[in-house]
Structures are given as structure tokens and as C-alpha cells.
A and B are shown apart, each in its own frame.
Chain A
């Protein structure tokens, strides 16, 4: 079997997208040993960082593992090399969704915020309970202010976030 060639171009993209410490990793595995998600699954942070270092784009971006990180920051705190692992994972995820690797439940959450400015809906029962507790039935947020919601929608348009969510990145 031929060894895969490293792809420094992809590594450079990861660095530019926010993973600037990726090359500091010396593969000790403190991250994997600290990972609460890896304790329940086959997700191994160390391997993910190694693949990002080597620029193995096709191993990293479609990977389900990329989405098993809860961003708990335990690895980030403990890394003896100061690798900002959560920042690397965020950079990789941003790249993955732009290639269309976007799970439907995530797309739906993102669609809700891009349409309503919140990621949870306001139901009649929520209004009733809020009133009962002595709170304003509709929270004093974008829910009460159409002009404010327009502003949030304009930000989504300026960033291409609304299109990203509509098309699923494809």
C-alpha cells in the first residue's frame, strides 16, 4: 500500500481559518485521554489533529468524528504544547459545511436562527407560562422587535449564512 502524500496547501488553509497552532502538536495523546466524547465513541482527537497537520482533507472534512467534539475545552486546557484544539476543530467544521457536509438537524437549528434570530421557537405555551411567572409574555428580544430581526437577517445575508443554510453548503 502506498503512503498518502501530505498536502501542505490544506494545512495552510486550516491555519488561515483559525487553526494557527496545528503544527505545534507532537502527538502525545493527552487530548484523546481527556476527551469525554472519545470515552464513549471511537473519536480520537489526536488522530484528527494529525490528519489536519498532514493535510489529509478527504479524511477530515467528510468525517463524522469531526462532529463528536462537544467543545468542552478539556484537551485545550491540558495540551502541553498549547495547541488550541477547539479552534482547529471549528476551522475544520467551517470548511466542512462549505463542502456540503452538514447534518440535517444542524441545518434546521441554523435555519431557525437565520429566520427568527433565536434557536428555540416561541410557542403559545411559553407565552402563557412567562405571563404566569410575571414575565413579559414575548421576551424583549428580536421576538418583540421586527426592526431588530431585520438587522440580524442582514448580517446573515452579508456573511452568506442564509444561503449556506438554504443550500446545505452544496
Chain B
């Protein structure tokens, strides 16, 4: 059984714990053992924290990487934001010895740890696609309903693609393939691949601007006649889920994180999915 440090982040464990319970169940049932990273913190988020102070952003990220290194495991995350921070910082530290020295000095003084560059950071969609494979998912997804799904990749799963090298950033397919293996139809929609609007600190600072971007995406999804939005990031998830409430009844499209969708398809009891905290009602 492949073993990974499960990086929790903030929004999943604290606002959508159903995504956490689904992820633990689904990944476990596919032969991926998740171990907790005791004492990990916020990644820190690439929006506000990187915007404020990149040295702080990299140092706290390096601490999270060092925790996994000490445990002797690679990291898996189910959040695009956490993935971006941990992946990008690991990449920077691996490719810039001077920077690594500077960040390790801060890290060692504060924690006694250093980061030596041995941890791979994995996004669970990429892990499912490459290591588990769509056929293994298809074999498990006996309870999958054939719903019309709007797949939302978000931004930081694939981009920047020059370092992440997971899939074509303009015309990706890995996430769609998994959703289809779970028995659904991934429906094309206008401007698919566009940001949900929340990132970069825009949701916190100018929520009206974020919501305009969300609304445009929702309009395009609705025009395509979808039954459900499927995301792979708790922050996009929050933006679509709470955003529809803020838009006061114009839309009522249920929002599922991929781990919840796979939970449904794998026949997990609904109580394990934590759908009752979703602000946009999930009737599926």
C-alpha cells in the first residue's frame, strides 16, 4: 500500500470536513494509505500570504515539507492552493541552492529542522490518474449515476504548467477522465478552465469582483444544462457553493468535491460525505 502524508490545509478540515472524510475513505479504498502530518499548519495560502511576504510564505511551507521529510513520506493534498504552495516552494528550494540556504536558516532557528529536498508533492487528482488509474476507479464506481457534470479544474492544479507538467493547461483531460470513469458525463461548457474568481486574495478583498467571475462561469455551466459542478479544490468549492447563495437563487447547481463524488459512486453512506454543510443544497 502506497503511503502518503495527508496535508489537510484549512478550508477542508474546518469548513468542509465531509471532503476530508470522503478523501480518507476513497483513497483508502483505492490502496492509498494516508498518515497524518502532526503539527502541520496552513500551507500557507498562495493568495494573501505569498502576496504579503514571500520569505514567510516559503519558510512556513518549508516547515510543512520538512515534517513530511522527517516522516519519510511524500505529500498528498486535495486542495489546489495547498498544492500550489507546497509544490512551488519545493521546486524553488530544489532549484536555487542560495534560496534553500536562506530559508533553511530561518527554519532551523525556529524549529531545529531543515528541508533537504526529498519530498514529492502530489495532487490527489494526478495521483488517482497516474498511480491508481481510471480503470481501477471504474471498477469501484458501481453506484455512479450518469449525471451531467461541469468539471472545474481550478487554476493551481495544472498551472504553472512549466513546472507542474501534469497535463495540457489549455485542454486538460485527466480530471474529466476520472469523472467519466465514475459513471458521469463531463459536459463541455463555454470558457471551461476559467478561474472561479476567489484566488489571489480577490475573494477576501473585493468579493463583488470575485462573484462576477463566479457568476459568468455559473451562467456558462447552466447554459450547458449540467446537474452538478465537480471541483478538486476546497476554495473553488467554497466559492461556487457560497457564491450561489450570494447570487440569491439565480442558480441551484449542487457542488461536489471529487472525493465526495467518488464517495457517492463507490457507495459510501451519505452521512460520510458531510453534504449537509453545503450552502447550495445537494439533491443527487
In-complex Cβ contact of A158 among B18, B109, B161, B213 (8 A): B109
Would you call B280 an interface residue if the criterion is a C-beta within 8 Å of the partner chain's C-beta atoms? no
> Chain B interface secondary structure, helix, strand, loop or mixed?
helix
The 3 A-B pairs with the shortest beta carbon distances in the complex, nearest first, are A148-B39, A154-B110, A73-B159
Residue of A nearest to B6 (CB): A140
Question: Is B52 in contact with A119, judged by CB distance below 8 angstroms?
Answer: no
Question: Is A118 in contact with B10, judged by CB distance below 8 angstroms?
Answer: yes
How close is A168's CB to chain B, nearest CB, in angstroms?
11
Interface residues of A in 23-76 (CB under 8 A from B): 36-37, 39-41, 67-74, 76
12 contacts between A and B (CB under 8 A): A36-B194, A37-B213, A106-B48, A118-B14, A119-B45, A133-B21, A135-B17, A135-B21, A152-B60, A155-B60, A156-B56, A158-B106
Cα of A20 to Cα of B152 in the assembled complex, Å = 32
Would you call B38 an interface residue if the criterion is a C-beta within 8 Å of the partner chain's C-beta atoms? yes
Would you call B267 an interface residue if the criterion is a C-beta within 8 Å of the partner chain's C-beta atoms? no
Cα of A151 to Cα of B41 in the assembled complex, Å = 10
- Number of B interface residues, CB 8 Å? 66
Using A133-B21, A142-B41 as known contacts, list a sample of 15 further A-B pairs with CB atoms less than 8 Å apart, ordered by residue number in A. Answer: A67-B200, A67-B201, A69-B200, A70-B198, A70-B199, A71-B155, A71-B199, A77-B159, A86-B160, A90-B50, A94-B51, A106-B201, A118-B10, A133-B271, A155-B106
Question: Is B213 in contact with A159, judged by CB distance below 8 angstroms?
Answer: no
Q: With A37-B202, A70-B213, A142-B39 in contact, do A122 and B14 touch (Cβ < 8 Å)?
A: yes
Residue of A nearest to B210 (CB): A70
Cα of A122 to Cα of B42 in the assembled complex, Å = 13
Would you call A161 an interface residue if the criterion is a C-beta within 8 Å of the partner chain's C-beta atoms? yes
Question: Is A106 in contact with B110, judged by CB distance below 8 angstroms?
Answer: no
Question: Is A126 in contact with B17, judged by CB distance below 8 angstroms?
Answer: yes
Interface residues of B in 80-119 (CB under 8 A from A): 106-107, 109-111
Would you call A113 an interface residue if the criterion is a C-beta within 8 Å of the partner chain's C-beta atoms? yes
Question: Is A151 in contact with B63, judged by CB distance below 8 angstroms?
Answer: yes
Would you call B47 an interface residue if the criterion is a C-beta within 8 Å of the partner chain's C-beta atoms? yes
Q: Mark B202-215, 1 if CB is under 8 A from A, else 0.
A: 10111001101100
Question: Is B194 in contact with A155, judged by CB distance below 8 angstroms?
Answer: no
Cα of A121 to Cα of B13 in the assembled complex, Å = 10
Interface residues of B in 252-267 (CB under 8 A from A): none
Question: Is B39 in contact with A70, judged by CB distance below 8 angstroms?
Answer: no
In-complex Cβ contact of A76 among B36, B37, B159, B202 (8 A): B159
Question: Is B39 in contact with A110, judged by CB distance below 8 angstroms?
Answer: no
Question: Is B209 in contact with A40, judged by CB distance below 8 angstroms?
Answer: yes
Q: With A72-B155, A155-B60 in contact, do A117 and B42 touch (Cβ < 8 Å)?
A: yes
Would you call B278 an interface residue if the criterion is a C-beta within 8 Å of the partner chain's C-beta atoms? no
How close is B215's CB to chain A, nearest CB, in angstroms?
9
Cα of A77 to Cα of B15 in the assembled complex, Å = 32
In-complex Cβ contact of A155 among B47, B63, B156, B195 (8 A): B63
Would you call B11 an interface residue if the criterion is a C-beta within 8 Å of the partner chain's C-beta atoms? yes
A165: B residues at CB distance < 8 A: 52
Residue of B nearest to A130 (CB): B17
Q: Mark A85-113, 1 if CB is under 8 A from B, else 0.
A: 01000110110010000110110011001
In-complex Cβ contact of B14 among A69, A70, A113, A126 (8 A): A126
How close is A161's CB to chain B, nearest CB, in angstroms?
4
Would you call A166 an interface residue if the criterion is a C-beta within 8 Å of the partner chain's C-beta atoms? no
Q: Mark B48-60, 1 if CB is under 8 A from A, else 0.
A: 1111111110011
In-complex Cβ contact of B15 among A73, A102, A126, A164 (8 A): A126
